[in-house]
Amino acid sequence: MSQQVQNEYYDDEAEMAHDYAVAVNAEIKDLFAAGADIVQIDEPYMQARPEKAREYGLDAVKTALEGVNGRTALHICFGYAALIHERPEGYNFLPELAETSLNDVSIETAQSNLDCKVLEKLEGKTIILGVLDLSTHEIEDPETVAQRIRRALPHVPAERLVFAPDCGLKYLPRDIAFGKMKAMAEGAAIVREELS
């Protein structure tokens, strides 16, 4: 939020990020009080601006989670694939999240073909593994999804993996989004069968 707002009040970006984090903290607590099972924070700017993320962004995430009782996740993304087509080969800011109280970290691996070795640095976190490429309307076959899941297994135990699209589906037509989600479920079933 601090990277998108028009700031006419704060002289210090870190102070602004902190105050936003305090507001997010109250919202997270309200969501759990209302009965939410999991609350996920979406965060595209830590990847895009890793220096600021290290300088004050990580502290802001910790503030947003302070005193929260409930399962929390953070999606650290490259931006919507329909809008941002160039993807780096890896995350500029990911292992740092191991220091937080987050339960889950949601990452994109499909479009970027991410080297999943980096996941070893998120010891103890559940990984929400992005296995659907949202830059294309082509619906993956279940075996393609299964291969993307298998890439993570040498680095993260199966019991700490949850499967998801790389990011949000809002730029895809409904039938394409449904087809991709169906392929994801079927790909997960293939790997589950292999592991049992």
Name all domains of the chain by residue range, CATH numbers in brackets. Answer: 13-195 (3.20.20.210)
Locate 73 and state its tokens: 């996740």
- CA separation for the pair 152, 109 (Å, rounded): 9
3-state DSSP call for residue 25?
A: helix
pTM: 0.89
- Ordered per-residue pLDDT tens for the chain, 196 residues: 777 778 788 898 999 999 999 999 999 999 999 999 999 998 877 877 888 888 999 999 999 999 999 999 999 876 555 545 565 566 777 888 998 999 999 999 898 888 899 999 999 999 999 999 998 999 999 999 999 999 999 999 999 999 999 988 989 999 999 999 999 999 999 999 999 9
Tokens of 150: 């298998």
